[in-house]
Structure 1
Amino acid sequence: MTPTPIALIADDEPVLLEELRCLLQVAWPELQIVASASSGSEARRLLDHLQPDIAFLDIRMPGIDGLSLARLAPPQTRLVFVTAHAEHALEAFEHAAVDYLRKPLTPARLALTVQRLQTRLTQRPQEPDAGTVTGTDTGPRFLQAWIGNSLRLIELEQVAVLRSELRHTRVQSFDGTTLLLRTPLGELQQALDPELFWQVHRGTVVNARAIERVERREDGDLQLHLRAPGAVVPVSRSHRGRFKGM
């Protein structure tokens, strides 16, 4: 029988700490949350003492921040970062994080994290927790591109539309952020969930959740108005069938 996993949760905001505890109790009733910490220093002491299977760490905490704490965590502890700040994602995955949760947490997103953790816990202890900024066990989490000397990231679930530009792909997020990726759209599509990311034109893929409305033009053609600044996308004749009845 697999031992019941134990977990530590750490956040310097008591309300958010309790919210995480309650959400975890619903998403993973078998998980034993054996301790909570309100500072990085307290979390370090508890990590050393308890040697938990899992640690949910806020990144910005007094004493020791979550990323520094990750370098001191026991090697067998699976790490999940919980933060309101997206800019630390790259460094988090460099610490082999299982996941990177953005606040405010949602039950659906946490359920996916629980699934990933359960998968990792079935691995042999000597197996490293592979983690990169672009992917996880269930597919890519982020799209990334260098702009000058800065690496820019967009969470996949925040991508509204992907457009082919020769051998590159231009990505636009819900908030209007754009990235030009050096990966052809056809190659990116192989890693995307086809139930969520719909091809609507030979060179265009949209996130179904980004569709605000479907409009029929006077010439009979369809176009999509997306929940992203200025994003209007034509639908080719060969893909009209997807929108029957909408």
Structure 2
Amino acid sequence: MSTAIIADDEDLPRTELRRMLQQHWPELKINAECEHGLDALEAIHTQQPDIAFLDIRMPGMSGLDVAHAVKGRCQVLFTTAYDSHALDAFAAGAIDYLLKPIVAERLIEAIARLKERVANKHSQPQSSQLATGDPRLELNKMMQELDKRLRHTTPERIRWISASVGDTIKMFPVDKILFFSSDEKYTRVVSSDDEAHVRKPLKELIEGLDPEVFWQIHRGVVVRADAIARAQRDEMGRVTVELRGSTEILKVSLAYAWRFKPM
């Protein structure tokens, strides 16, 4: 029996996908349903499913981030509401996707491919799966290209952050900000010479930030990539980063540690 998890931050698409899977692949066991990328990553680590159905864009950690972090340990099928023209190049490749609202015929095609891939994975010895030319390396390249394509559909980028401090409004140009961090109901905004708190939650701010400029490194931390001075890995494999212009040491969660692997 094959197993799977479903991750989507919207209830209706998640419920509809489960219903359709029960209809067209009744022997598939759904081990977990997740509302966020980090929950999906944890479920993949604990449940070790054969397949992960991941919404491409979720608050905080995206489906692409989850796929990067799990390093090919399960088959991935992305779900998305993006226009199909951004995804056509991947329809027959290592990356498969379902366009919302999901059409039964398309799901049946995807199920056939997933069954074949799961069967092939179980039939191959681990050594051959990790041989030179590992298809997971090609998968990562394709996901990076997919991410670039989808950025063209993102909303207009934030250029300024305004924060109220008493009777003063502080203005932070985005290109001067070193990092953002969640602080209870607020988001802390830090530049090299100042900081403030804004009421907008980090998950909403992320939508207006350029993902090539700002990297999420933790559930509650987003940093300017070109401000990163160094990353340090301790004996337990935990990663921290230091930023130019800041004395703070920021933790990197397991979900984003892949960003700091040596080239």
Superposition TM-score tier, normalisation by shorter sequence: 0.3 to 0.5
Which structure shows the higher helix fraction? 2
Give the structure-1-normalised TM-score. 0.47
Structure of greater relative contact order (alpha carbons < 8 Å, 6+ residues apart): 2
Give the structure-2-normalised TM-score. 0.44
